[in-house]
């Protein structure tokens, strides 16, 4: 049975998805609730499994990394073989996301590599072990994305930021790397505790985090959620465009922000040129949303496919594995 979120729960999730590192004092002022009430609610959301992690999203382009999605259709597999495939991907440091789906594509995984040669070697090594179980494989290169907050819970437009918009490698020193590794899946760790863990001072940690944000190496502190706990599911829409037009692209981005439940708008290069990721209550509602979108953009959207993500065996989106 789905957990019933009340208005305060929804506002907390919405705020923390914009900035999961913001102090309780600021959050309590925004929501006009006592600090202990906010702390209790966050703890409750964690205990219910709704909030899985407070994560730090790094910009792949600033780290000199290219992101690719690999779509796999299996053949002649068993539950045991698929588990072995998934475990292999989970252990691979170049893999930052693994998803199982209810579609033609049984599995999707995302990898980050420095160049095309590393991409070839990574996929070739995987296929050397598991290729006999792969009927079809499709590669899609990531170009850039817009990350939207989950504002549908409060019926407001999303707050959007750009991710991996430019490929410009930034220097990261050893202290920054230590900070980022600690923040990766624990964005709410206090500066005092973080300083103790890495052998530095609170003042230095605060300064370094501000610098990482200024240089946009840190894109956003956000939530890793299990939306199924409150009755929503994760869907990916693969979209084939008739042709690319900058004006239509900007209009569609704004359209998605206003919907509030589309949290990733991803430009791609491959068999299709656009992917959307969204939270919806059912496949029917996700398909209705996409049908309406196609009707509203008849000269831009050729066709689409809606994919239900049934599980994320690796979903922390932790880029610190590569630094």
81 and 203 belong to one structural domain: no
> Residue 53: which CATH number?
3.30.70.3460
Is residue 65 located within the same domain as residue 185?
Answer: no
In this structure, the answer to whether residues 51 and 95 fall within a common structural domain is: yes
Cβ 73 vs Cβ 135: under 8 Å? yes
State residue 319's pLDDT score.
Answer: 83
Both 86 and 118 in a single domain?
yes
Is the domain of 58 the same as that of 186? no
pTM: 0.93
Q: Which pLDDT score, from 0 to 100, does residue 1 have?
A: 82
Residues 151 and 289 in one domain: yes
Check whether residue 163 and residue 175 sit in a common domain. Answer: no
pLDDT score of 278: 98
pLDDT for residue 317: 77
Host domain of residue 210? 171-214
**Number of residues written out for the chain:** 323
pLDDT score recorded for residue 166? 77
Which stretches of the chain drop beneath a pLDDT of 50? none
With 0-12 CB in 10 A as exposed, 13-18 as middle and 19+ as buried, what is 33? middle
CATH code where residue 202 lies: 1.10.10.10
């Amino acid at each position: 049975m789905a957990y019933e979120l009340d208005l305060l729960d929804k506002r907390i999730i919405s705020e923390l998805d914009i900035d999961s590192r913001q102090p309780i004092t600021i959050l309590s002022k925004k929501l006009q609730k006592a600090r202990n009430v906010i702390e209790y609610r966050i703890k409750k959301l964690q205990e219910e499994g709704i909030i899985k992690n407070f994560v730090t999203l790094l910009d792949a382009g600033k780290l000199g990394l290219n992101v690719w999605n690999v779509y796999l259709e299996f053949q002649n597999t068993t539950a045991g073989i698929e588990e072995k495939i998934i475990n292999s991907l989970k252990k691979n440091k170049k893999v930052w996301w693994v998803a199982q789906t209810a579609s033609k594509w049984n599995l999707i995984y995302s990898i980050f590599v420095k160049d095309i040669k590393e991409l070839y070697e990574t996929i070739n090594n995987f296929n050397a072990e598991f290729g006999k179980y792969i009927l079809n494989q499709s590669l899609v290169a990531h170009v850039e994305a817009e990350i939207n907050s989950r504002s549908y819970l409060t019926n407001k437009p999303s707050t959007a930021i750009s991710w991996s918009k430019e490929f410009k490698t930034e220097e990261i020193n050893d202290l920054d790397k230590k900070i980022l590794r600690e923040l990766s899946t624990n964005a709410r760790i206090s500066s005092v505790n973080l300083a103790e863990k890495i052998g530095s001072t609170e003042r230095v940690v605060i300064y370094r985090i501000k610098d990482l944000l200024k240089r946009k190496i840190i894109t956003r502190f956000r939530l890793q959620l299990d939306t199924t706990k409150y009755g929503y599911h994760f869907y990916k829409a693969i979209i084939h465009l008739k042709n690319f037009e900058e004006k239509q692209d900007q209009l569609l981005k704004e359209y998605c922000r206003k919907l509030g439940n589309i949290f990733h708008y991803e430009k791609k290069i491959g068999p299709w040129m656009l992917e959307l990721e969204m939270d919806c209550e059912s496949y029917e509602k996700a398909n209705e949303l996409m049908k309406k979108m196609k009707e509203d953009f008849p000269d831009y959207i050729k066709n689409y496919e809606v994919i239900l993500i049934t599980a994320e065996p690796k979903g922390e989106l932790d880029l610190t594995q590569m630094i």
